[in-house]
Amino acid sequence: MRILLTEGSSTSARQAITALALAGHEVAFCDPEPFCLARFSRLVARRHRCPPLGTDPEGFRVVLRGLLATGTTDVLLPIHEQGYLVARVADELRPHAALALPSFEAYARVQTKLGFRGLLTELGLSQPRTRLLDDPGHLLRQDTYPFVVKMALGTASRGTWLIRSAADRERAAAAIGRLAADDGPVLVQEWVSAPLEQAQAVFQQGRLVGFHATRRLIEGGGGGAALKESVRRPRVAQDLARIGAHLSWHGALSVDYFIDGSGEHPLYIDGNPRLVEPMAATLAGLNLADLLVKVSVGQPIPTCRTGEPAIRTRLSLQAILGAALGSGSRRAVLGTLARLVRGAEPFAGAREELTPIRLDPPSALPVLGLALALLARPESAPALVQRGWGAHLLTPEAMRRIRSMS
């Protein structure tokens, strides 16, 4: 199949390229940036520039429709937040390419923090205790640390703060005031000290047909995982099956959750209406990106497929960035680089998700560039994380404009 990804800047897009190429598909992408992660790949057949979704959703819509109208795409795969727009205008895109997305109303419920909280409450699924503050200024009255603050329309890792002190609280309140003072209530959520896991699923007309879960062993930059291990989570699969049936979900869906030692009591904290870094599942024997293509073209999937447990995977880029964020020292960055190269603990036996150098040698260039930048200025790590939240992502204003599209 000829696949078009809706962006090429995220780690999810970079991993989807590898997974789709391994399945024999021809991959193209569109992105506003001339140099993004997907640019450094020999597995990409075509690259297209497009307007930024965050500031020009109407322009993105026009260019995407034009690309599909050329007849060079069999399947459109919304790999990141562009799915919000694609779901809104799906009827005008489906005549040109196959597409697996639920209704826009269902998609929007999972896209926002507030919508996902309401969905969990509606289904009686567990989540950390959460309060809504209609006035963001009331955040300054919260003094039981630690706790988590989330903007109602926050997307990806943006709009979320872990508050450990009064200084953290004041910085979050100031940021919320600058970003979106009128974008709905602020969510204040209790902090849970437990392992963080992520589950990814693919649905076909409301039925779960693919499921994989991983545990974060080492944190990288921006809350991402530098080292993961696949786990069996039948309870989480059951909960996701309920969500999918309730929303008549068609396509991909991911959730983040804390979990206790028994693996039977997840506390759901976030949802994403898309695949998130699908190579962990691919390396565990379940190519979710390819499964999503099959669902897109209407191929029947009779049973639910799962990946193997106890498979460790790593993201070298996240590991290097996490080392710099955690210590701000060159020694930590160099030490992490050395362990990655040698395959030493804690990365022993872990397979690379993001930069498959043997399969795709150009994929090493972004990691090399990041390593050099952090060795020169390790204190620049926070700015580099912020730079990853680029113009290819949604903003609250873009979401408002997309909702008003005809």
Task: Return the pLDDT at 340.
Answer: 96
Query: What is the amino acid identity at position 80?
Result: H
Output the CA torsion sign for 176, 179, 184, 190: negative
Q: At what angle do helices 330-342 and 364-376 cross, to 10 degrees?
A: 150
Question: Quick one: tokens of 278?
Answer: 């699908």
Burial letters 253-275, b for 16+ CB under 10 A, else e = bbbbbbbeeebeebbbbbbbbbb
Task: Return the pLDDT at 376.
Answer: 94
Based on C-alpha coordinates, what's the Rg of the chain?
Answer: 20
Task: Return the pLDDT at 180.
Answer: 56
Task: Return the pLDDT at 328.
Answer: 83
Task: Return the pLDDT at 386.
Answer: 67
Q: Which fold has domain 2-103?
A: Rossmann fold (3.40.50)
CA–CA separation, 298 and 292 (whole Å): 10
Count of CB atoms situated within 10 Å of the CB of 185: 17
Domain with CATH 3.40.50.720 in the chain: 2-103
DSSP at 308: P
Q: Find, among 195, 186, 194, the residue nearest to 163 by Cα.
A: 186
Q: At what angle do helices 330-342 and 316-327 cross, to 10 degrees?
A: 150
Question: Quick one: tokens of 51?
Answer: 């307007």
Q: Find, among 57, 25, 10, the residue nearest to 395 by Cα.
A: 57
CA 203 to chain centre: 17
CA–CA separation, 234 and 194 (whole Å): 19
pTM over 0.85: yes
Domain with CATH 3.30.470.20 in the chain: 195-311
Provide the β-strand partners of residue 225: 219
Phi-psi region of 44 (alpha: psi -120 to 50; beta: other; left: phi over 0): beta
DSSP at 125: -
CA–CA separation, 157 and 163 (whole Å): 15
132 in helix, strand or coil?
A: strand
Task: Return the pLDDT at 389.
Answer: 57
274 in helix, strand or coil?
A: coil
> What CA dihedral angle connects 243, 245, 248 and 251, to 10 degrees?
70
CA–CA separation, 248 and 299 (whole Å): 17
Q: Which fold has domain 195-311?
A: D-amino Acid Aminotransferase; Chain A, domain 1 (3.30.470)
Task: Return the pLDDT at 266.
Answer: 97
Q: Which fold has domain 129-190?
A: Dna Ligase; domain 1 (3.30.1490)
CA–CA separation, 130 and 78 (whole Å): 30
CA–CA separation, 171 and 140 (whole Å): 10
Consecutive sets of 10 residues in the chain, 406 residues long: mean pLDDT of each?
A: 97 97 98 94 97 96 98 97 97 97 97 94 96 87 91 69 92 80 80 95 98 96 90 98 98 97 94 97 98 98 97 96 90 95 96 96 95 93 72 86 93
Task: Return the pLDDT at 176.
Answer: 85
The answer to whether the beta carbons of residues 93 and 76 sit under 8 Å apart is yes
